[in-house]
Structure 1
Amino acid sequence: MFEDEPNQQRNNNRKTPEPQFNWKGLILLVASGLIIAWAFILNSDKGGMMQSGREKNYPEFQQLALDGKIICTKDKPLRLVSDPGTGNEYLEGYYTKESTTGDKASTEAVFETTVNVEFQKDQLNKLIADVNAQNAEKRKTAKDAGQPEPTLYDLVITPKTNTSHMGTFLFTLLPLIVLVGLFLLIRQQMKMAGRGALSFGKSRAKLLNQDRNRITFKDVAGCDEAKEEVWELVEFLKDPKKFQRLGGKIPKGVLLVGPPGTGKTLLAKAIAGEADVPFFSISGSDFVEMFVGVGASRVRDMFEQGKKNAPCLIFIDEIDAVGRHRGHGLGGGHDEREQTLNAMLVEMDGFDTQEGVIIIAATNRPDVLDPALLRPGRFDRQVMVSLPDVKGREEILRVHAKKVKLSEDADLSKVSRGTPGFSGAELANVINEAALLAARRNLKSIGTAELEEARDKVRWGRERRSLALTDKEKENTAYHEAGHAILIELLEHTDPLHKVTIIPRGPSLGSTMWLPEQDKFNHRKNELLDNLVVAMGGRVAEEIQFHNVTNGAMGDIRQATGIARSMVCAWGMSEKLGMVEYGEQEGQVFLARDLARNRNYSEATAQIIDEEVKRLIDEAYNKAMSIIVTHKDKLDAIALALLEFETLDGAHIKEIMEHGRILHPPQSPKPPTPPPVPKATPERTPAKSEDESEGGLPGGVVGVPA
């Protein structure tokens, strides 16, 4: 079932070279800098810099010389030191230093005096001549007097050039060292560029490391049919001879189609994880660059890498970035994207699946792909990864719940039933939001209440309890939501009511939520008509109670119009227009394909469509008006309960409808937690047509087709 150890080791060790940090270049650059600094130090510090504590200025040197204290012998000469590297010149020698302890003993000390021979030459010569003449006079006087000759030193300046052989050598070779270092650094960068910045034609496909983050079918839930369909690829990669024995050929390419967040990329990684083969991943947008021909070159390089690492999987995410219809660009010209697509078509025709290279692509826009890409021999199979059903949602929740700490009474089945239309990514977000909510509440585990709150936050937004609403606005919102709720309870073909709230959440000031008992894939005409009546409930309740209306029904009107128009134009539910589809036709024009949308019906038919849509909505409005007027006392009771408790469950609404009051009232709402940093509340402007003023159905109704 699994490969033998040598083959498995070989497959795991196959890795494409990736650009690494240029440590050699950095070390070379640092070494060059140190050599340059060393050369300067040798030429400066050792090349004639005087030592501190020895320096005498020129007047002090002159006085010492006239006093006869300068020692000038063969062993201790007076030197004129010059440094060609720095240009410094100074006198260096010994002088007799008087004792500081008060005795007559004296010591010898070294001195250094800075001079400039070019300007002080005559001055130095005169000083030496004066000192030597003074010494000669003293000797003559002593000789004439018959006394012993005193110890006197005639001054003779001995030139000395102070040089450092190593410093000079390095300073001479410094330009050559710098040039060689720069050449090696540029050469190293060019080698790096062969794998990095300058390798425009190389594929940017990344090799997934199966050792660290291996994904299998156990990590994929909610798409059992898709897993069964791609299991053939796993069996082929494990045992190709099983299919070759009967003459069958595995599909060259598999196209994963589905809405965003349904797990197409995860499913592709699971195929590679189950088969234990190299997995190359690349996005469709990684092919095209600013240079012409780069995309086609990368396509060819990608297939070459696949053949070298066969058997393997190549996954192209968002293939619609390069696989769109050809000939519909601006002006109908041949652009870079089409050249990349042509290269991909040729490469998919040029290799055989017996080599063990399988292409998997993912897109959520299969309608825009070029037909040549979808023909047999290229992407032979399309696998639909659809939104999960109620059972699949529960499985997905359980997969993600393994990473968090759930309480024993957490009901994932209830959460899955309350999340119709959620994708796998949204369900993962629900679990994550529930974990964050439980952490904020300092709980030890995640319960059903946190899961439901997280679901409401993901779908409708977070509660905005801090939103400053006046009592009049709260009352208006309460009657609006009560109008929706009472119609859901009284109409026959509606789903069970789940929750009613007047707490602002997301863009709405209040929400009425109902949940279907099971997933629905078809909607009957009676259900759609009742949904239209429910959509009218908020506006009708406002008109009955206040004899005035607000803009809070904007979302209700938009949703009701969409349902009614679909019933007339798409679903054939109008007796006057019959079983005919009235929509838009797509054509091809010069500028762009998406601009060519024309109606396939006349102006007279358009007028009839508008009349039918208005008739459906007017009938729904009149029916809602009749029901709410008849049950005005129940409307008042629900609205007052909402003003008191802010949020009511479906069971509370049933109690009000049956008994006129709530038998088991919910807990009183807790005041909102103040923010850590108080901020001034901005002045509220009059509500216009923003989404914030929408109430009821727009964000709070589940299961109504748009």
Structure 2
Amino acid sequence: MAPALSLTACHLPTYCKSQEISKENHYRLFSSDAVLNRRNLLIKSTSSLSLLGAGLTLVQPVKAEPENPEEFTSTRMSYSRFLAYLNEGFVKKVDLFENGTVAIAEIMIPALNKIQRVRVQLPGLPRELLRKMKEKDVDLAAHPVQPNVGMMLLDLLGNLAFPLIILGSLFLRSSPTNPPGGLNLPFGLGRSKAKFQMEPNTGITFDDVAGIDEAKQDFKEIVEFLKFPEKFAAVGARIPRGVLLVGPPGTGKTLLAKAIAGEAGVPFFSLSGSEFIEMFVGVGASRVRDLFNKAKASSPCLIFIDEIDAVGRQRGTGIGGGNDEREQTLNQLLTEMDGFNGSSGVVVIAATNRPEILDQALLRPGRFDRQVTVGLPDIKGREEILKVHSKNKKLGKDVSLSIIAMRTPGFSGADLANLLNEAAILAGRRGKTKITLKEIDDSVDRIVAGLEGTRITDGKSKILVAYHEVGHGICATLTPGHDPVQKVTLFPRGQARGLTWFIPSEDLSLISKQQIFARIVGGLGGRAAEEVIFGDSEVTTGAAGDLLQITQVARQMVTTFGMSEIGPWALTDPAAQRSDVVLRMLTRNSMSEKLAEDIDKSIKEIIDEAYEIAKAHIRNNRATIDRLVDELLEKETLTGEEFRAILSEHTELHVVMNRLFSTKEPVGL
């Protein structure tokens, strides 16, 4: 080590002057302490490296042996110093590795008069560098990258890791409990999603269900059958396989099913019809099998399927035909309910509000032995429902549940529950401790007609709306067969600028022609008042909703009820009206052009006659109308008693307290 150090120091002044570099850098570069003894450098490769445009020679991996036994082994050198030696022509040979980013160069060091082997980190291979090495006649060789078998295996495993994890999880989570013949689907796709309760704790009993006494009686028999099956078996009776609940939304079908579960005390499965269907073919049928296998193991038990029309739709109407997933699920449901195996001790309760679209095979006895209709409650039923939902409400002394029931024709059980809840919210918002009649009235108005809008401030518009609403009240009150006025108000709600409310005296299942015609006359009263009082050129668009309603009523009189000169014909097919939308569009209209023209003519005659009667009421009671309008503009709301009191001062009233329709829609501008 000492002779090398003294040799470098001896030649240092001359070399530094010729190369114009500092002593410190030169001394640091060629100090014997920085020289690494690497004579056994072995470079291996299995592929070739292509360098385009440089004229490089491709060589196989070779062992780099020094040509001169006295040369130094390789050390590191900066790229800038490598360029300086290259410009001077001292670079003799360059071996490129790692895709041309590392160079092992043999450089003739003038100060040492020996060849130094150095390692240079290159910034890629620019064309200028290759051209310069070619000009200097440098022996250039490129060596391909040596493959690392271990790294290759790691890369391969990394690429396959995610698919292997997915496949492994699919196998590990495959359902081993699926029934024989069912799909062994991953993630439990073939298992039923029904909620199971060994001891039902729904918190609902028959005492919590009101307004549907007939339906309750049918289900009390089923509950007794489940509790005491030997009583019925002694006389040869068998338990019903299924009960179908049919009725409009909100009438209490699901509530009744909860009450059955709470009363029977047997294992209870509950799910929706849509939970059978998945995007995978065969999943629905597998879930049906799994559900009934669990039910049979826990028999006697109850299965409640809500919205069964999602899976029980009539077969043959879908685009997929017999291979449709929904139809396969329905086929399996039919087999489980009444097939070779049977389902002894399992009672299926289903609910739907569209029974007309269900498959006939599903509705036959042996599958659904009973169809229980849960309809809208009558006035007595509404009062019983209000009693149930008002148990936890604080009502004022002025609140009468019977009056509320009278004011809410057509309300379902859900509507009545929402009514009392809205009233409680309004009472709390107004800082009251009890619900008063004011909150009940506002809640009814809000549910039926919508939220209260901005009050009318324009004088001309307010006067026009007042005459319009008084016209409704006058024509309805003076026409025999119409319901009495409940109130007339200028408070806008929803799209209506004012409203005239009518209250029926009782619920009627049969409606006469006189009552229907009176409804049309009352509906045209607003337009008649505008035309008679302000002139034909001043009528407004406020009667658009009224005209739509009375046109539909008149069309029903002609085509459905047979109350026209055409005669007692059923001119519409009820089955076609209840069928699927696509089928209804494709159904050929069998009505002749002459009959269609006669229908339109009869509808027009009914409306024209009613309109003339309405205008006659307005002309004959002009002074009374002006008096009522003045009172309405001052108070903005007139009750039915106030309205009839003013009217009776000028006219002898002959009001027949009959109900026209079971409807919640008021007449409004």
* Cα separation, 1, equivalents of 2:396 and 2:272: 40
* Cα separation, 2, equivalents of 1:256 and 1:535: 36
Q: Is the 8 A contact 1:540 1:621 kept in 2?
A: yes
Residue 583 (structure 1) shift: 1.3
Q: Is the 8 A contact 1:329 1:591 kept in 2?
A: no
Q: Is the 8 A contact 1:252 1:359 kept in 2?
A: yes
Residue 601 (structure 1) shift: 2.1
Residue 352 (structure 1) shift: 7.5
Residue 598 (structure 1) shift: 3.2
What secondary structure sits across from 1:500 in the alignment? strand
* Cα separation, 1, equivalents of 2:558 and 2:166: 73
* Cα separation, 1, equivalents of 2:554 and 2:293: 55
Residues 86-124 of structure 1 show CA distances to partners (whole Å, capped at 9, x for unaligned) of: xxxxxxxxxxxxxxxxxxxxxxxxxxxxxxxxx9xxxxx
Unaligned runs of 5+ in 1: 1-118, 120-182, 662-696
- Structure 2 CA distance for partners of 1:351 and 1:384, relative to 1, 3 Å: farther
Residue 211 (structure 1) shift: 6.3
Q: 1:531 aligns with which of 511, 519, 534?
A: 519
- Structure 2 CA distance for partners of 1:578 and 1:225, relative to 1, 3 Å: same
Runs of 4+ in 1 over 4 A off after TM superposition: 183-197, 208-212, 351-354, 584-592
Unaligned runs of 5+ in 2: 1-74, 76-163, 178-184, 652-662
Whether 1:347 and 2:336 are equivalent positions in the alignment is yes
Q: Is the 8 A contact 1:201 1:298 kept in 2?
A: yes
Q: Is the 8 A contact 1:483 1:635 kept in 2?
A: yes
Residue 600 (structure 1) shift: 3.3
Residue 525 (structure 1) shift: 0.8
* Cα separation, 2, equivalents of 1:493 and 1:318: 40
* Cα separation, 2, equivalents of 1:403 and 1:513: 29
Q: Is the 8 A contact 2:200 2:261 kept in 1?
A: no
User: Paired residue for 1:297?
Assistant: 286
Residue 448 (structure 1) shift: 2.2
- Structure 2 CA distance for partners of 1:186 and 1:322, relative to 1, 3 Å: closer
Q: Identity rate of aligned residues, in percent?
A: 50
Q: Is the 8 A contact 1:584 1:597 kept in 2?
A: no
Q: Is the 8 A contact 2:476 2:525 kept in 1?
A: no
Residue 269 (structure 1) shift: 1.1
User: Paired residue for 1:640?
Assistant: 630
Pairs within 5 Å for 1:650-689: 650-659=640-649
- Structure 2 CA distance for partners of 1:429 and 1:209, relative to 1, 3 Å: farther
User: Paired residue for 2:657?
Assistant: none
User: Paired residue for 2:126?
Assistant: none
User: Paired residue for 1:307?
Assistant: 296
The TM-score with structure 1 as length reference comes to 0.65
Pairs within 5 Å for 1:138-149: none
Whether 1:628 and 2:594 are equivalent positions in the alignment is no
Pairs within 5 Å for 1:499-514: 499-514=487-502
The TM-score with structure 2 as length reference comes to 0.69
Residue 189 (structure 1) shift: 9.6
* Cα separation, 1, equivalents of 2:529 and 2:582: 47
Residue 596 (structure 1) shift: 2.5
- Matched pairs, number: 490
User: Paired residue for 2:431?
Assistant: 442
* Cα separation, 1, equivalents of 2:331 and 2:270: 20
Pairs within 5 Å for 1:217-296: 217-296=206-285
Q: Which amino acid aligns with 1:310?
A: S
What secondary structure sits across from 1:313 in the alignment? strand
**Segment drifting more, 499-508 vs 259-268:** 499-508
Q: Is the 8 A contact 1:586 1:597 kept in 2?
A: no
- Structure 2 CA distance for partners of 1:306 and 1:430, relative to 1, 3 Å: same
Q: Is the 8 A contact 1:585 1:600 kept in 2?
A: no
Whether 1:391 and 2:380 are equivalent positions in the alignment is yes
User: Paired residue for 2:477?
Assistant: 489
Q: Which amino acid aligns with 1:434?
A: A
Q: Is the 8 A contact 2:546 2:667 kept in 1?
A: no
- Structure 2 CA distance for partners of 1:598 and 1:584, relative to 1, 3 Å: farther
What secondary structure sits across from 1:379 in the alignment? coil
Q: Is the 8 A contact 1:332 1:591 kept in 2?
A: no
* Cα separation, 1, equivalents of 2:612 and 2:456: 34
User: Paired residue for 2:151?
Assistant: none
Q: Is the 8 A contact 1:503 1:510 kept in 2?
A: yes
**Segment drifting more, 506-515 vs 367-376:** 506-515
User: Paired residue for 1:402?
Assistant: 391
Q: Is the 8 A contact 2:311 2:329 kept in 1?
A: yes
Pairs within 5 Å for 1:543-692: 543-547=531-535, 548-574=538-564, 576-584=565-573, 592-659=582-649
Q: Is the 8 A contact 1:584 1:599 kept in 2?
A: no
Residues 457-493 of structure 1 show CA distances to partners (whole Å, capped at 9, x for unaligned) of: 11111222x3555222211111110100111221221
- Structure 2 CA distance for partners of 1:369 and 1:591, relative to 1, 3 Å: closer
* Cα separation, 1, equivalents of 2:197 and 2:394: 29
Residue 334 (structure 1) shift: 2.9
Residue 630 (structure 1) shift: 0.6
* Cα separation, 2, equivalents of 1:450 and 1:187: 62
What secondary structure sits across from 1:207 in the alignment? strand
Q: 1:330 aligns with which of 307, 315, 319?
A: 319
* Cα separation, 2, equivalents of 1:517 and 1:559: 22
* Cα separation, 2, equivalents of 1:610 and 1:184: 70
What secondary structure sits across from 2:366 in the alignment? coil
What secondary structure sits across from 2:618 in the alignment? helix
Q: Is the 8 A contact 2:208 2:388 kept in 1?
A: yes
What secondary structure sits across from 1:583 in the alignment? coil
Residue 351 (structure 1) shift: 7.3
* Cα separation, 2, equivalents of 1:282 and 1:523: 40
- Structure 2 CA distance for partners of 1:633 and 1:257, relative to 1, 3 Å: same
* Cα separation, 2, equivalents of 1:285 and 1:224: 30
Residue 632 (structure 1) shift: 0.6
- Structure 2 CA distance for partners of 1:581 and 1:435, relative to 1, 3 Å: same
* Cα separation, 2, equivalents of 1:209 and 1:590: 39
User: Paired residue for 1:700?
Assistant: 666
Residue 597 (structure 1) shift: 2.9
Q: Which amino acid aligns with 1:253?
A: G
- Structure 2 CA distance for partners of 1:241 and 1:608, relative to 1, 3 Å: same
* Cα separation, 2, equivalents of 1:652 and 1:192: 74
Q: 1:213 aligns with which of 176, 195, 202?
A: 202
Q: Which amino acid aligns with 1:412?
A: L
User: Paired residue for 1:53?
Assistant: none
- Structure 2 CA distance for partners of 1:250 and 1:487, relative to 1, 3 Å: same
What secondary structure sits across from 2:524 in the alignment? helix
User: Paired residue for 1:426?
Assistant: 415
Q: Is the 8 A contact 1:568 1:612 kept in 2?
A: yes
Q: Is the 8 A contact 2:170 2:186 kept in 1?
A: no
Residue 502 (structure 1) shift: 1.2
Q: Is the 8 A contact 1:259 1:386 kept in 2?
A: yes
Q: Is the 8 A contact 1:330 1:592 kept in 2?
A: no
What secondary structure sits across from 1:271 in the alignment? helix
Residue 585 (structure 1) shift: 7.5
CA RMSD of aligned residues (A): 3.1
- Structure 2 CA distance for partners of 1:374 and 1:522, relative to 1, 3 Å: same
* Cα separation, 1, equivalents of 2:583 and 2:334: 22
